């Protein structure tokens, strides 16, 4: 079950996001960047990334194609686990930048990769 494998979601358009009200007041839209934490950590997050067919792994995000990255391997790779923990960056954190692909194709790709 794909829902059981992921934990927290970080997206300004979700009411559960800690800064949702700030985003709602100040943003016209919420953007295409989503972060989520894999409950079982970095091993499962890496498996997810390798299993996706549409999304490419990338050190930087924001292109027209859907991209995915693990901060512990890229942007925050030089930090110790203790430093990342203090900053609130869990081992299984995945960042996903939504591109211009068909949303249904992306959903199916994630569902298949998480199965």
pLDDT, tens only, 13-63 = 999 888 899 999 999 888 888 899 988 888 889 999 999 999 988 877 778
Q: Which residues of 29-46 are buried (b: 16+ CB within 10 A; e: fewer)?
A: eeeeebbbbbeeebebbb
Domains of the chain: 2-114 (3.90.1150.10)
Residue 37's alpha-carbon distances to 18, 54, 55, 89, in angstroms, are: 15, 20, 17, 9
**Confidence class of residue 1 from pLDDT cuts 50, 70 and 90?**
very low
Neighbours of 27 (CB within 10 A): 11
pTM for this prediction = 0.76
Residue 62, classified by CB atoms within 10 Å of its CB into exposed (0-12), middle (13-18) or buried (19+), is: exposed
Whole-angstrom Cα distance, residue 10 to residue 41? 16
């Amino acid at each position: 079950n794909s829902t059981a494998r992921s934990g927290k979601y970080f997206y300004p358009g979700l009411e559960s996001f800690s800064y949702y009200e700030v985003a709602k007041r100040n943003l016209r839209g919420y953007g295409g960047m989503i972060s989520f934490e894999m409950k079982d950590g970095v091993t499962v997050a890496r498996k997810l990334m390798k299993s996706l067919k549409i999304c490419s792994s990338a050190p930087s995000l924001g292109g027209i194609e859907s991209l995915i990255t693990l901060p512990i391997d890229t942007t925050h790779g030089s930090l110790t686990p203790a430093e990342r923990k203090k900053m609130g960056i869990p081992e299984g954190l995945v960042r996903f930048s939504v591109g211009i692909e068909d949303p249904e194709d992306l959903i199916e790709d994630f569902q298949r990769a998480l199965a």
